Structure 1
């Protein structure tokens, strides 16, 4: 548990560092500025995509220290399904995307997810072939076991490692004992 808290604390610091205060900009102005930046990024990604992406989920790992063994023995941890999206990169390696996925959840029921993803990126070589990313994904999902597919908003951390147009992306879905605490991963290929 202390390791998880340290990881969460580190991620919060990484996200908070770019959010330093601007002199003379307060409350609603700052929120309006962030909203405008996100809206512009979504619009530009939709209207001027650099890639059309294929998403293939492959892992739905439940943190064993947060589950009874009887539960995890019955869970689907190899989700089938797929998705499509549009994305673009900045010169610095930052990534923005709009996506839609449909996959088999832990109970082997179909789960849709649509949303927006953004990552701060770091290139690991001069050719800009290898890239690591850290960011967030936000959107709407729905589950069979939650009020028979009532739409649910989500915002989760996003991590990635990639080579050229092939990326592996991960998110961690937090939760309580025997609920949530899932590492979900997929491959994203840009065309």
Structure 2
């Protein structure tokens, strides 16, 4: 399949359109669109002998995704830095790679009863070769609050995402990654590290997140 079929601008536009459509759908089906959904609803089952402890990881994941989807609070993402690990690259490669990932993203988020962060997002940015790279998925971080929950916070978790790159004709592919963040008030600095081999991968990617 030719690369023109998966043109980056078309794919990025489709991802953002999906997020906007999702937001509209959630608002129409939410009885109180300004309510933050934090209650963990028990899984309904036809088997009366099944206990809450028997809920599968998949069931919990679906519940978290659905509750985040139904929420009506938004994150905005601004990519700020890409760093290629100099210990795993030849210098001539890093000299020509782009490390300014201009782009933008948005998504929905919520904090659960434990204060942990959940998000559904889509983002597009300029990759190492100055080509558009879209990414979308679900993110989770376990949060720590040294003081007031509206003040300083730190988080660590993961994202289960789908991305596409020009080297592979923009065919969507899964990309699970770790997440870390530090934040204060409405603003957070969030980052991930893409593992790899010599001269491939091993990239630190960071962005600002406004909520």
TM-score by length of 1: 0.80
> What runs of 5+ residues in structure 2 fail to find an aligned partner?
1-49
**Which of these residues, 158, 182, 193, is aligned with residue 172 of structure 1?**
193
Seen in structure 2, the aligned counterparts of structure 1 residues 100 and 35 have a Cα distance that, compared at 3 Å, is same
Q: 2: distance between equivalents of 1:135 and 1:76?
A: 27
Q: Looking at secondary structure, tell me which structure has more strand per residue.
A: 1
Seen in structure 2, the aligned counterparts of structure 1 residues 127 and 119 have a Cα distance that, compared at 3 Å, is closer
The one-character-per-residue Cα deviations of 1:38-65 (angstroms, maximum 9, x if unpaired) are 100000001023x211100011100000
For residue 88 of structure 2, what is the aligned residue in structure 1?
A: 66
**Which of these residues, 63, 73, 93, is aligned with residue 40 of structure 1?**
63
For residue 155 of structure 1, what is the aligned residue in structure 2?
A: 176
For residue 18 of structure 1, what is the aligned residue in structure 2?
A: none
Larger radius of gyration between Structure 1 and Structure 2:
2
Structure 1 segments (4+ residues) deviating >6 Å: none
RMSD of Structure 2 on Structure 1 (CA): 1.6
How many residues get paired? 160
Per the TM alignment, residue 92 of structure 1 is displaced from its structure 2 partner at its CA by 2.7
Q: Is the 8 A contact 1:92 1:122 kept in 2?
A: no
> What runs of 5+ residues in structure 1 fail to find an aligned partner?
1-24
Per the TM alignment, residue 127 of structure 1 is displaced from its structure 2 partner at its CA by 4.8
Q: 2: distance between equivalents of 1:127 and 1:117?
A: 20
Q: Which moved more, 1:86-95 or 1:105-114?
A: 86-95
